Amino acid sequence: MSEPRDDRALRSCAERIEELLRDVEKVAGPLAWARVQSLVTELVELYGAGLARVLEHAAASAADRHDLDRRLAGDDLVASLLALHDIHPIPLAERVERAIDRARAQVATDAKLELEGIEAGVANVRVSGAQTGRGVMLQQLVARAIENDVPEITSVRVEGTTPPAPPPDKLVSVARLVHKARP
């Protein structure tokens, strides 16, 4: 068995995968690129099914299921992979609420942040009571918190402020490619 990779090496690996996919897309024609996307989707689904079985075995033998879920959700790489395969132990809405709570804790205003719902990969958040000058900053903070913590959210719509800048890349941004490629 090989030595486990540290987070920096894993981020580098994820970046290299993204780079390779961009390179292949540039040189492949539409037919070949469609097959590459299909190949990646099939591989991800196969590994996801294996990961789901590993989780079933771990849960069956865990002395404390809550502790197992907390540990899995607390590891950025593992949590990203679980989210990618729709097997994250913490429900989607709860993870979005936690991200909103973290954003709320970073803001020292009277802003009230409420999750209005999640529909087709879009998290809808209502902001009220925010100071006008801080609205864009608040929207960016909320959008980044959600998109960083909940990679299967494809977009964040924050009502009550103006639109934010695009979010930064995530640890395993291949997840978005696969989620968008799924029917």
Exposure string for 140-159, b = 16+ CB within 10 A, e = fewer: bbbbbbbbbbbbbbeebebe
Are the beta carbons of 59 and 68 closer than 8 angstroms? yes
Q: pTM of whole model > 0.75?
A: no
**Spatial CB neighbours of 55, under 8 Å, sequence gap ≥ 6:** 72, 82, 87, 89
Domain made up of 92-159: CATH architecture:
2-Layer Sandwich (3.30)
Q: How far is it, in rounded angstroms, from Cα 146 to Cα 150?
A: 6
pLDDT tier at 166, thresholds 50, 70, 90: low
Domain boundaries, given as residue ranges, for the chain: 7-89+174-181, 92-159
Q: What is the pLDDT of residue 26?
A: 93
**For all residues of the chain together, what is the average pLDDT?**
82
Instruction: Return the higher-pLDDT residue of 15 and 1.
Output: 15
